[in-house]
Chain A
Amino acid sequence: MNVIFNLAEKFAKPFISINAQKESRELVALSVAIDRVVNQLTIIGYADGKQTVIPFYQITRFYTQGKHVVCETGDGAYKIHERMYELRERLAGTDLIPVSNAEIVNKTVIKSFQLTKSGSYQINLTNGDTTFSSRRFVKYIREAFLK
């Protein structure tokens, strides 16, 4: 099945539509699967005293900041209650890959890797940010890209 983008100014809030001659069982199953990805694979973020439901696909990365775990999206950063090890278990097999003990990055925002002069694995992200990976996690990154 082709997946195409239908881009226009009027679609201020993105939505997904399934185009077909008639509804079938397979298409209903597909819509349920898409709904799961978009609306159910989510996490609750806290910022400015407000709770926000964040779908996984919007997440750029998770990182630890002091004692908290922070979830970063294109719109901002949110504190979350989950621990890093819980996230690693929950996100196994998704695009969100652990790059060190303290960070999980969405592989779609990884622009390139670079070895610093002192020998650290630097990750350059598409939004211009940089972060670091640890050697032990390189194999997980490689596996995620080989999938």
Chain B
Amino acid sequence: MRSVRMRLLGALAVGLVSLLSLVKPAEAVPSFASQTGQPCSACHIGSFGPYLTPFGRAFKLSGYTLGGGDGLASEIPLSGMVITSFTHTASAQPSPPAQGFYDNNNPALDQISLFLAGRVNDYVGGFVQGTYDGVGRAFLWDNTDVRVSTPINLPSDTNLRLGVSFNNGPTVQDPYNTTYAWGYPFASSALAPTPTAGPIIGALIGNTLGMTVNAWYDNSLYVEIGAYGTQSPALAKMLGQYTYPGTSVGPMPYARVAYEWDWSGQAAEVGGLIFNARLQPGGIPGFGTDGYTDMAIDGTYQFIGDGTNTVSILGIFTHEIQHLNSSVAQGLAGTTNGYLNQFTATATYFYEKTYGINFSIQKTSGSSDAVLYAPAPLTGSNNGSPNSLGLITELDWVPFGKNDSWAQPFVNMKFGLQYAVYPQFNGGGSNYDGFGRSAGANNTLYAFAWLAF
């Protein structure tokens, strides 16, 4: 029993993100549409959040302060969101994935969210999301980004905007959909197994508090620095955060640089970020710390044109250096020094901002560790390897959210049909977990309906 618990703690300690899918960020905020007087399609690729257009990024970087809407609705910063779904895996799971569900073929109320989202004045705006997780059956404090932003007068007439963000996870404040908080898939099943290993930065979204300062120069160069600290275990528990990799020791620095080109209905971006964390795994003191350094390069291309045909490509490569001193001392890992690489790339096409198709590749590889990635039914690895490959195809239909749509901008919906294929899962193709399960058994069909109002 103790061994199982220790392994679980170890899994949490090194930033395993299978549980992260339970709190996959999702955002669609019609109160921003009311505030700006714009349809959802102005800010979002495919007329639905969270995939941002160039204007959507500009709106975010200007602190969510842009107005333009009329009437009382434009003054009310409240929105809601509901996601329901059906999940089918190629083979049933060894046991139901959550209390009250079956081992396969699960309909679910994924989540209900309320947003406080809008501008305060010309300099302050943001959003705070509270979510009822229908799978975990718990309330949680979800994504939050409150920004202060102001334009600066330069003698050259070139635009410069400075800002501060207070948020609850690294990259929640990032304007690009390459990074972890708002990356693809924008919705995924909380009831299907997903590859176990992922960069620590992704596992610290929601359970940290951070402040960053940013500069946006010439509407092109984005520079940001800041630091994060984990919430105390008691606070995280109170706020419903059931993913808690550890307690930070000292501030966790974060730096981000990106450069964007916008021209003739097209946009391109290249950038990078670096993040460092020292954690006490599971919040347990007395064994030193685990150290992580995540470094990433990312890129974006978007063809918007006149909105009839929209093509978008996202990519990010992350390299993580691990020093698992505490985990080794606690018997949670077998090797002190390790690494993890993750590459994701996603191509999206939308016709008339309504009918979409997405293709995504999600590749993880890293150093092997037979203790850290131990055999376990469904979630373990038979060979101690974190290597996984996932291929996702998704069809989308967004009937509303355009300028002439029904009930615009107060109601929007997205219907999606997503299929994830796993040629490799936690290090293997057949018997990957040491208990006879094949990677293909985790292939997942996920159908969802997403309502925002």
Does chain A bind chain B?
Answer: no
Question: Which residues from chain B sit less than 8 Å from chain A, CB to CB?
Answer: none
Question: Which residues from chain A sit less than 8 Å from chain B, CB to CB?
Answer: none
